[in-house]
Amino acid sequence: MSQASMRFTPCPSLPAEPGSAVVVLMKENSILLDEEGRLPRMDDLPETIHAFRIGYIGSCPCHGAVLAEQVTFGNLHWQDTRSAMQGLPEAERIAAGRAKTLLFWQDRRKFCGVCGTELEPLISECARKCPRCGAAFFPVLAPAMIVAVRREDRILLAHNARFKPGIFSVLAGFVEAGESVEEAVFREVREEVNIEVRNIRYFGSQSWPYPNSLMLGFEADYAGGELVPDGEEITDADWFSADDLPSIPAPGSIAYRLITHFQHQMNLKS
């Protein structure tokens, strides 16, 4: 089967189809995998799971479901979602990310925000509708920016208070209501490390289903100001050259891509 035919294609949250299908089963921060570390098939499960369709991998239906208990099934095993997803083939990783964000949304959007009535699935859309007042609710994504700031041949990397000790990364933050993403880049960098940036340029994006973000990556150039971490979110920040980087986030993240892209460009220069 060709690479193109193995792409993941999303679809509305329809009822699960009978027969063989790939299934994303989740429980809190864990995902169920088979012996090869891949998403299991519905046929691998000894009992019927209440699942819903989230899309297709190639022509194979793909379902998502959450389990209330940490049950085990034969040779299948639970693994931490974030590390497991990095090891999945691309189509399965996208499917798992979609399932994760939709399951999170479903869990928190059971009742109408207008009149309080219990919502019903809106067949043909990935949405829920109120049977009383007709209000429709769609899954919510939280856009966030992530930016590699450069100052000549160095990159700005910072230690966030939530990181493991010794890890440094590029700056990131959520887009506020009313802002463009570029305005969020400018504001977040100033808030977190007290400097100004210019020449903000788009790099690429990544779904970040922890629980429902879309990371929009940028590069920008230093424009002025003295580097001062805010002391709350950012506890340390500095300029690093490509041949002297600290410990950075693991491969699979857009942060890693931004930092290694910088490193690659510097290596081409030298």
| Residue ranges in contact with Zn ion by CB under 5 A | 112, 114-115, 117, 130, 132-133, 135
- Please count the residues of the chain: 270
* Distance (Å, whole) CA 222 – CA 156: 9
Instruction: Give min distance, CB of 139 to Zn ion, in A.
Output: 18
What is the smallest separation between the CB atom of 133 and Zn ion, expressed in angstroms?
Answer: 3
Closest CB to Zn ion among residues 74, 131: 131
Instruction: Report the residue number, 104 or 137, with the smaller CB distance to Zn ion.
Output: 137
- Nearest distance in Å: CB 111, Zn ion: 8
CA dist 30 and 64 (Å) reads 13
Minimum distance of Zn ion from residue 122's CB (angstroms) = 13
The whole-angstrom distance between residue 210's C-alpha and the CA centroid of its chain comes to 6
Report the residue number, 132 or 264, with the smaller CB distance to Zn ion: 132
C-alpha 240/C-alpha 263 separation (Å) is 10
Contacts of 241 (CB under 8 A, 6+ apart): 153, 154, 266
| CA dist list (Å): 53 to 21, 29, 59, 101, 117 | 9, 21, 13, 14, 24
Looking at the Cβ atoms of 140 and 228, the one nearer to Zn ion is: 140
Residue 224, classified by CB atoms within 10 Å of its CB into exposed (0-12), middle (13-18) or buried (19+), is: exposed
- Cβ within 8 Å of residue 179, ≥6 positions away: 187
181 is written with which tokens? 């993403």
Q: Which residue number, 11 or 135, has a Cβ lying nearer to Zn ion?
A: 135
How far apart are CB 222 and Zn ion at their closest, in Å?
A: 50
**Pair of tokens at residue 177:** 């209501």
Single-letter residue type at 48: T
For Zn ion, give the closer residue by CB, 32 or 112.
112
Nearer to Zn ion, 133 or 228 (CB): 133
Nearest-approach distance from CB 13 to Zn ion, in angstroms: 19
Report, in Å, the least distance between residue 120 CB and Zn ion. 11
Closest to Zn ion by CB, 115 vs 161, is 115
CB of 117 to Zn ion, least distance (A): 5
- Alpha-helical runs (H) found in the chain: 81-86, 90-108, 181-193, 254-269
Q: Are 190 and 196 in contact (CB under 8 A)?
A: yes
